[in-house]
Amino acid sequence: MLPGMLRPWLLPILLLVLCPGCGEETANPGVEAFLAGWAEPVSDAVDEATGYPSRIRRIEDCAEMVLVPGGTFLMGAVPDDARAKDVEDEHPRREVTLTKAYYLDVHEVTNAEFLAFAEATVHVTKPELLGWAVVFSPEDADGPDAWIETPGASWRLPWERATRPSDWERHPVVLVSWSDASEYCAWVGATLPTEAQFERALRGGAEGQVYPWGDAVPPKPPLRGNFQDVAFRERVGPQATGALSDYDDGHVRTAPVTSYPPNAYGLHDLSGNVWEWCRDGFQADFYATSPSTDPVASQRDPGRVRRGGGWMTGTGGRLRCSWRGVADAVVCRDYMGFRCAKPLP
């Protein structure tokens, strides 16, 4: 061997001595750039299809998100859904493609998380400005309408007579408008989910079912969520016309987040607890006219999509995966909240 020459088999050994980390798998710079200053992985679990962490934690509010796969799914009322027969805005059922996987909050935004936002941004909601909000108060109702203008009620004191539960911090924030929800999402570097993203996540990968858990209500054990149940009927009385028979989820109003098992994607409470704001404006004919790829309805009208049902929702069909609710963007209700979404780049 000539001086200065190195036998080929010695080269790998020399590299290991001089550079112990060489040859190991390096971090994905695209993933690092996406998460930088915004979120961090919760564990070492990585989605094989994208190379991104399966679960992350946002830095701003410490909320966790899971990665929901993109791809094509059937959106809209399933053929065997008798309740959807005359509901035109759930038709036609069609293939929708989400071109990117997206992160979605594991649960609805909580009061503790919204409090951090309010303190950091000095954000004030409409009920706080007005000094009152409409709250479900059956004991104080004079007549069949149990929603009463309640002085002092807001997201901080969202229950009847401007009260709140002892574990309020873990309950989903309510009495927030679409604008409040959108501003929170922007604060954490995200957006509200589109209606298509919400239904994709709600179905949990199981297409063809009327409800997230199957084709009938009430769901069989285990408990699937916080709905209008027998406990609600016992408290409210004859007004609880939609209460699910033989179903008791343990809560009359909102429940602390993650009180019930997650779906196949690891997401809690997409069905029940609180209705959730979506990014889309509401258009009754959107399914017939929308693009099949990454559809988002324009916000030309004041109505905004709300999805998922809540603690007031029972037998009326609104827990179905395809049900499309609507509310004016300025409305604040004690059964409506939200969660955040963020697509991959």
Average pLDDT over residues 262-270: 98
Average pLDDT over residues 65-92: 95
Residues 6+ apart with CB under 8 A from 165: 159, 171, 253, 254
Condensed to tens digits (0 to 9), the pLDDT of residues 108-165 reads 999 999 999 999 999 999 999 999 999 999 888 776 678 899 999 999 999 999 999 9
Average pLDDT over residues 216-242: 89
Is residue 194 within 8 A of residue 100, CB to CB? The reply is no
How high is the pLDDT of residue 248?
95
pLDDT value at 105 more than 60: yes
Is residue 229 within 8 A of residue 248, CB to CB? The reply is yes
Considering only CA atoms, which of 61, 32, 53 is closest in space to residue 101?
A: 53
d(CA 20, CA 1): 27
Architecture (CATH level 2) of domain 58-343: Alpha-Beta Complex (3.90)
> Tokens for 118?
């309010």
- Computed over every residue of the chain, the mean pLDDT equals 91
Does the pTM exceed 0.85?
Answer: yes
Domain ranges of the chain: 58-343
pLDDT value at 84 more than 60: yes
How high is the pLDDT of residue 241?
86
Strand order in the sheet with 39-41: 39-41, 55-58, 64-68, 102-105, 341-343
Average the pLDDT over each of 81-85, 87-91, 256-260 and give the range with the smallest value. 81-85
Average the pLDDT over each of 63-77, 216-230, 291-305 and give the range with the smallest value. 216-230
> Tokens for 42?
């919760």
Condensed to tens digits (0 to 9), the pLDDT of residues 167-226 reads 999 999 999 999 999 999 999 999 999 999 999 999 999 989 999 999 998 888 889 999
Average pLDDT over residues 317-336: 97
Confidence of residue 85 (pLDDT cuts 50, 70, 90): confident
pLDDT value at 31 more than 50: yes
pLDDT value at 276 more than 90: yes
pLDDT value at 302 more than 90: yes
Average pLDDT over residues 288-299: 96
How high is the pLDDT of residue 297?
97
